[in-house]
Amino acid sequence: MKFISNSVEETIAIGVGLAKSLKKGACIALIGDLGSGKTVLTKGIAEGLGVKDPRYVNSPTFVIIKEYKGRLPLYHFDLYRLNKATLLDAESYEEYFYGDGVTVIEWADKIRPLLPKKRIEVRLKAAGENKRKIEIKNVR
């Protein structure tokens, strides 16, 4: 599926729509440059999962992961500062990737070999100040 978002609100709405179909164990790999809308889309996914106040969803840049409670737990990874995929091993990532919640991974391309074979890959690209191109595909 391909989308064009013309605002933060539209990007959030795309995330809400995506979240409606998610089940436990879902992994969403977000790929895109800095400022492409990865965290904004994650806010929408959080809203769609029923996280109490998705306004407070932000990049866990300095702690790698943040957890939020919703209809399913949301595990939000931000790997921007990760230099090597092996550093993620210490975080016991598999319990999140294959657990009872939904995992959203910003900068997922940094750990491609560790990603679940079955995942949703979302590519985001800035196409203007507020315009974003968003492509969502299932990977198996």
Q: According to the model, what pLDDT value does residue 116 have?
A: 93
Mean pLDDT of 28-36: 96
Arithmetic mean of pLDDT, 33-44: 96
One-letter amino acid of 85: A
Looking at residue 87, its pLDDT comes to: 58
Number of domains in the chain: 1
**Maximal CA-CA distance, the chain:** 39
* pLDDT digit string, tens, across residues 115-137: 999 999 999 999 999 999 999 99
pTM given for the model: 0.91
pLDDT tens digit sequence for 63-122: 788 999 999 999 999 998 877 655 566 567 888 898 899 999 999 999 998 899 999 999
Query: CA–CA separation, 121 vs 126, rounded Å?
Result: 17
- The tokens describing 29, both together, are 């790999």
Could you tell me the residue range of the domain that residue 134 belongs to? Answer: 2-139
CA 4 vs. chain centroid, Å, equals: 18
